[in-house]
A and B are shown apart, each in its own frame.
Chain A
Amino acid sequence: MFSGTPLFPLQASTLAADVDALYFFILAVTASVAILVTVVVIYFSAKYSTRDPLEVGARIHGSIPLELAWSIIPFLVTIVIFVWSANVFFDLQRPPDQTLEIYATGKRWMWKFQHLDGQSEINELHVPAGRPVRVTFTSEDVLHSMFFPAFRTKADAIPGRYSTVWFTATAVGEHHLFCAEYCGTNHSGMVGKVIVMDPAAYESWLTGNVGGGSLAARGEQLFGDLACNTCHLREGPGPRGPSLTNKFGAAERLADGATVVVDEGYVRESILMPQAKLVAGYQPLMPTFQGLVSEENVMALVEYVKSLRVQTGAASRAQAPEEPASRTAPQENR
């Protein structure tokens, strides 16, 4: 009945071993301290125990050198842990430059993943082994948390903003996906699996599950349906709004003098709350699309904006959004 009870989680990503190494280091430090103090307490309690209630102990009030020693040495040890753990944390938070992009939304009680080529799946995520994957996600209702124990990473899904997790899976197979932030009735049912495939199998999975056009193509469709393209012209600044071509990843000057780097979160915010960070030189004319566009469609629009890239001198339609090259997006270091 209990055979196959694991005592330690599988290491299925490049960073899992780094996290585990730190974990074992802290374990070694804390276990040494725990054993030392326990032995001292038991030894003293036995050695100096008495049955005579009138006996008294030695007149010892303390020792400054000892106090300093057991303040400073633990502090130095915790500094080592702090620096090491900060390093691992930076690695967990900062994806490498070229990542496979996946979008996801959490809603009670399921995870929906959208691949750039249009495939979408629920509570399952197919990824290739050996390639960095970045999942950009939000929540449509309450807080959730996307947790991959085998990859040693998680991040809360927060309504109203984008979160990301990244990993490079190493172990082909199925691993748990959990919602780690309590979200109501069926919180413990908001689980799924991440299916790590070898790259060839992944490519054939992709081609075998083509949805209704790429995510960027769906975004382009929406861009027209919502009449975004009447103000945001493909080429050149319009009188009412800037062109979005080549905007993604660039720095934009705002009306209040600040600058902002155009990333997924900024594009999302500009669709739903256009007045929040208005671009310099434009009037606050754009209506809000809050409540009119689902988070999934916002992601399609974001992906469309990301795809609007032209090389200088090239024709504006040179890069069709359907091109599979758009699956890999350059990352600015955030």
Chain B
Amino acid sequence: MDTTMPAMAPRVTYLNHEHTVASWLLTKDHKRIGIMYLMVVTFAFFLGGLFATMIRLELATPAGDLVSSDTYNKMFTMHGVAMVFFVLIPAVPAILGNFVLPLMLGAKDVAFPKLNLLSWYIFVIGFLFTVYAMVSGGVDTGWTFYTPYSSRASNTNVVATGLGVFITGFSSILTGLNFMVTIHRMRAPGLTWFRLPLFVWAIYSTSLVQILGTPVIAITTLALAVERFLHFGIFDPALGGDPVLFQHMFWFYSHPAVYIMILPPMGAISEVIAAFSRKSIFGYSFVAFSSLAIAIFGFLVWAHHMFVSGISVYSALVFSFLTYAVAIPSAVKTFNWAATLYRGAIWLKAPMIWAISFLGLFLIGGLTGLFTAALGVDVHLHDTYFVVAHFHFIMVGGAIMGYFAGLHYWWPKMTGRMYSDIWAKVASIIVFVGFNLTFGPQFILGYLGMPRRYHVYPAEFQLLNVLSSAGASILAFGYILVGIYLVASLFYGEEAGDNPWHATGLEWTTQSPPLPHNFETQPIVTEDAYEYSRREIKVV
């Protein structure tokens, strides 16, 4: 990475102060750990993308002609497992959070650097377990592992996959704990809670969910393994268990997990929008507290995944109502982002284009949630492609676009290099178009009644499926393009300089790439986040 440093005196950075493999594998530097997460998550994203490609290829025709039904079922299961547990959950907190959180706080590292390294190893072990389960026969339960199919009927690697998820969960818990303590204890002098960048508020809220929610999925996968191996009747009615109990336990984690996936990208979006509008985020405290509100309310809506699963009419009413309540803080964030643009000095560089794409897609993702939260409509929509489209708009249109906005924003800080701005903008637009073409038709398919997880489907649904598959190939091309110009920037990119975006925030006050210990002297904070207007205004 550092081979093409200019001829002048090479600066010491976190990348070049040590070179050995051991210096990476035993590092306690949050920045190197962030880069190591980036490697693993990128590989998992590639793997999950490969499965998605197979799915969309198969669905280009109504007949099951490319792969067998069993293979197809494994494809969508492993796509979900790889993307949810190894991309969406770790992407922003573990990669960007690890890299920039201590820098934003003016700290040398996270509170527990060794624990941070341990978290990475736990993550990798969990991932290897899951990859082992995939290559040694795969798993076909869907990423939701619903019982009693998973505990009784499936003859695939359910327990190995569950164990992979179980192990990875501890990495998530420890990272959340580490970040929470770091935010409490490691803030620079003068960096009060209401001077924190909104990304920190988002990470803090996420950590809360990771710590409180993740143990539940651990218990759930463990209970599933116990039933499968020892035939204890927990979920299987033939053994005296209750299959709906599994769904309660699964969603008690997995709905809050949606907020683990979306809150950190929302935080990254707040940073990017403030930086490229050159002004403070509109309604800072509302955006900050909306993160906490989402984290807390997020624990109270899990049964909205179960409106047709045999829960009582009255509990369905309660969960529908609470779901509308949790929609409000997300709406508030979106309105504040839009209002931030008002009378800004908007610099349309690549990260901002990605952020605006995020706004468009997240908007649709959030608003289509109002359909699925509506009891009378959800009875029809549940388990159809409408739901598939809705959560991809949140997870990919929201979380992945937000991650890319953040990655493009902090890439010069992480690598010291600048990628091609024009290619990055082109890629953003390709991804935006490809994404809409992939998932837009799925809303129509869903309302028509096409169920999800169908290998074979009625011929009248083909046109919309062909459009979706065509969109997926454009989407895949866009992602490959991102990979190409980002890697190329490492070798051919211009030097970025310490603060290429002229942004506020402590991470931009140190050099790029940063020193091994981040700052030469302890930074002291004297103003709020995003105080662009206090800067000297250039008179034209």
Residues of A whose CB lies within 8 Å of any CB of B are: 1-2, 4-9, 18-19, 22-23, 26-27, 29-30, 33-34, 37-38, 40-41, 44-45, 48-63, 66-67, 70-71, 74-75, 78-79, 81-82, 84-93, 108, 141-143, 145, 147, 149-150, 152-156, 158-161, 163, 176, 178-189, 191
Contacts and interface: CB of A to CB of B under 8 A. Distances in A.
A207 B331 CA distance: 58
A23 B320 CA distance: 16
Contacts of A152: 379-380
Contacts of A8: 447-448
Q: How large is the interface on B (under 10, 10 to 19, 20 to 34, 35 or more residues)?
A: 35 or more
B348 A49 contact: yes
B375 A89 contact: yes
17 contacts: A7-B444, A9-B449, A18-B376, A37-B359, A48-B341, A56-B537, A57-B343, A70-B331, A71-B328, A74-B327, A88-B377, A89-B375, A108-B153, A147-B383, A154-B308, A179-B451, A180-B383
A185 B70 contact: yes
B283 interface: yes
B436 interface: no
Given A149-B448, A189-B69, 9 more contacts: A9-B447, A26-B377, A30-B367, A45-B348, A52-B538, A56-B279, A62-B286, A67-B283, A85-B320
Nearest to B540: A52
Contacts of A55: 278, 345, 537-538
Nearest to B461: A5
B129 interface: no
B374 interface: yes
B310 interface: yes
Contact of A93 (B152, B313, B370, B463): B313
Contacts of B283: 61-63, 66-67
Contact of B149 (A33, A91, A143): A143
Contacts of B142: 182
Interface in B323-380: 324-325, 327-328, 331-332, 334-336, 338-339, 341-348, 356, 359-360, 363-364, 367-368, 370-371, 373-380
Q: Decide if the interface of chain A is mainly helix, strand, loop or mixed.
A: mixed
B508 to A, nearest CB: 13
User: Which interface residue of A27, A51, A92, A185 has the most chain B CB atoms within 10 A?
Assistant: A185
Contacts, number: 293
Contacts of B348: 45, 49
B146 A50 contact: no
Contacts of A85: 320, 374-378
B277 interface: yes
Nearest to A7: B444
Contacts of B364: 34
B447 A186 contact: no
A35 to B, nearest CB: 10
B328 A48 contact: no
Nearest to B69: A185
A62 B379 contact: no
Interface in B452-471: 452-458, 460-464
B334 A37 contact: yes
A57 to B, nearest CB: 3
User: Which interface residue of B282, B384, B451, B532 has the most chain A CB atoms within 10 A?
Assistant: B451
A62 B282 contact: yes
B316 interface: yes
Closest 7 CB pairs of A and B: A149-B449, A88-B376, A160-B237, A57-B279, A89-B375, A85-B374, A44-B341
A5 B455 CA distance: 19
A93 B378 CA distance: 12
B535 interface: yes
B460 A4 contact: yes
B328 A58 contact: no
B342 A44 contact: yes
Contact of A184 (B153, B335, B447, B458): B153
A52 B356 contact: no
Contacts of B374: 22, 26, 81-82, 84-85
Given A57-B343, A142-B148, A23 B447 contact: yes
Contacts of B277: 48, 57
Contacts of A19: 376-377, 379-380
B315 interface: no
Given A67-B286, A182-B453, A187-B455, A48 B310 contact: no
B345 A82 contact: no
B321 interface: yes
A158 to B, nearest CB: 5
A34 B371 CA distance: 14
Interface string B482-522: 00000000000000000001100000000000000000000
Contact of A186 (B69, B282, B317, B533): B69
A160 B243 contact: yes
B308 A145 contact: yes
Nearest to B503: A53
Nearest to B451: A180
B321 A57 contact: no
B149 A142 contact: yes
A141 B280 contact: no
B284 interface: yes
Contacts of A34: 363-364, 367
Contacts of B457: 188
A143 B243 contact: yes
B308 A187 contact: no
Given A53-B502, A160-B243, A61 B282 contact: yes
A75 B278 contact: no
Nearest to B536: A54
B349 to A, nearest CB: 9
Interface string B297-323: 000000000011110010011001100
